[in-house]
Amino acid sequence: MKKQSNLSRLMGYAGGHRILTYLSWVLSVMSALLALVPFWYIWRIIHDILEVSPNFSQAGNVTSYGWSAVLFAVISIVVYIAALMCSHMSAFRVAANIRKELMRHITALPLGVTEKYGSGKLRRIVNTSSAATETYLAHRLPDKAGAVATPIGLLFLLLAFDWRLGLLSLVPVVLGFLIMMKMTGKDMEKRMEQYQNALADMSNEAVEYVRGVPVVKTFGQTIFSFKRFKDAIDNYETWVIAYTKGLRLPMMFYTTAINGVFAFLIAGGILFTRGGVTNELLLNLIFYIVITPVIGTTLTKIMFMSEDAMIVGDAINRIDEVLNEKPLSESSVNNIPKNNGITLEHVSYSYDGEKNALNDVSLSIKPGQTVALVGASGGGKTTLANIVTRFFDPQKGRVLIGNTEIRDIPKETLMNKVSFVFQNSRLIKASILENVRMAKPNATREEIAHALEAAQCLDIIEKLPNGIDTVVGTKGVYLSGGEQQRIAIARAILKNAPILILDEATAFADPDNEVRVQQALSALSKGKTIIMIAHRLSSITDADCIYVLQDGEIVESGTHSGLIERNGIFTKMWKNYSEAAEWKIAKEVNA
Average pLDDT over residues 143-147: 83
Quick check: 262 and 292 in contact, CB under 8 A? yes
The identity of residue 193, as a single letter, is E
pLDDT at 1: 44
For residue range 293-307, list pLDDT tens digits in order: 777 677 667 666 666
Average pLDDT over residues 553-573: 90
pLDDT at 219: 44
> Sorting pLDDT into bands at 50, 70 and 90, what band is 218?
very low
Among residues 143, 153, 154, 144, which one has the least CA distance to residue 293? 154
Q: Is the dihedral of CA 21, 23, 26, 27 positive or negative?
A: negative
Q: Given a cut of 90, is residue 75 above it in pLDDT? A: yes
For residue range 437-452, list pLDDT tens digits in order: 988 888 899 999 988 8
At CA 571, angle to CA 566 and CA 574, rounded to 5?
Answer: 150
Do the bridges between strand 342-350 and strand 499-503 make them parallel or antiparallel, or are there none, so unpaired?
Answer: unpaired
pLDDT at 72: 92
| Alpha carbons 542 and 65: distance in angstroms, whole number | 97
Q: What are phi and psi of 230, to 5 degrees?
A: -65, -40
Q: Given a cut of 50, is residue 349 above it in pLDDT? A: yes
| Alpha carbons 507 and 485: distance in angstroms, whole number | 9
Q: Is 504 helix (H, G, I), strand (E, B) or coil?
A: coil
Residue with the bigger pLDDT between 547 and 282: it is: 547
Q: Given a cut of 50, is residue 65 above it in pLDDT? A: yes
Average pLDDT over residues 67-83: 93
In the chain, what percentage of residues exceed pLDDT 90?
13
For residue range 85-107, list pLDDT tens digits in order: 999 999 999 989 999 998 888 88
Residue with the bigger pLDDT between 357 and 524: it is: 357
Neighbouring residues of 92: CB distance < 8 A, sequence distance ≥ 6: 134, 138
Q: Where are the domains of the chain?
A: 6-323, 342-424+495-590
pLDDT at 70: 92
The identity of residue 66, as a single letter, is G
Q: Given a cut of 70, is residue 564 above it in pLDDT? A: yes
pLDDT at 145: 86
The burial of 407, by beta-carbon neighbours within 10 Å (0-12 exposed, 13-18 middle, 19 or more buried), is given as middle
Helices (H), 500-559: 511-525
| Alpha carbons 392 and 348: distance in angstroms, whole number | 12
Mean pLDDT of the chain: 79
| Alpha carbons 192 and 316: distance in angstroms, whole number | 13
pLDDT at 86: 94
Class (C level, CATH) for 342-424+495-590: alpha beta
What Å distances lie between residue 90 and 22, 32, 236, 319, 367, CA to CA?
10, 21, 34, 19, 55
For residue range 220-249, list pLDDT tens digits in order: 455 555 677 777 777 778 777 877 777 777
Most confident of 36-40, 167-171, 277-281: 36-40
Do the bridges between strand 342-350 and strand 396-401 make them parallel or antiparallel, or are there none, so unpaired?
Answer: antiparallel
C-alpha 287, offset from chain centre: 50
For residue range 241-292, list pLDDT tens digits in order: 877 777 777 778 877 777 777 777 777 777 777 666 666 677 677 777 777 7
pLDDT at 587: 47
For residue range 317-343, list pLDDT tens digits in order: 888 888 888 887 776 677 778 888 999
| Alpha carbons 542 and 421: distance in angstroms, whole number | 19
pLDDT at 250: 78
Note the pTM of the prediction, 2 decimals: 0.61
| Alpha carbons 111 and 71: distance in angstroms, whole number | 60
pLDDT at 286: 72
E strand spans, 332-391:
342-350, 356-365, 370-374
The identity of residue 179, as a single letter, is I
> Sorting pLDDT into bands at 50, 70 and 90, what band is 484?
confident
Quick check: 157 and 287 in contact, CB under 8 A? no
Q: Which of 8-12, 245-249, 484-488 has the lowest mean pLDDT?
A: 245-249
- Peptide bond connecting 54 to the previous residue in cis, omega within 30 degrees of 0: yes
Q: Given a cut of 80, is residue 433 above it in pLDDT? A: yes
> What is the CATH T-level fold of the domain 6-323, as seen in this structure?
ABC transporter transmembrane region fold (1.20.1560)
pLDDT at 28: 92
What Å distances lie between residue 308 and 147, 197, 303, 305, 570, CA to CA?
14, 16, 9, 5, 59
Among residues 555, 498, 552, which one has the least CA distance to residue 370? 498
At CA 564, angle to CA 584 and CA 544, rounded to 5?
Answer: 100
Average pLDDT over residues 553-574: 90
Among residues 538, 542, 545, which one has the least CA distance to residue 515? 538
| Alpha carbons 284 and 187: distance in angstroms, whole number | 41
pLDDT at 304: 65
| Alpha carbons 417 and 334: distance in angstroms, whole number | 14
Q: What is the 3-state secondary structure (H, E, C) of 569-581?
A: HHHHHHHHHHHHH
The burial of 517, by beta-carbon neighbours within 10 Å (0-12 exposed, 13-18 middle, 19 or more buried), is given as buried
Q: Given a cut of 60, is residue 503 above it in pLDDT? A: yes
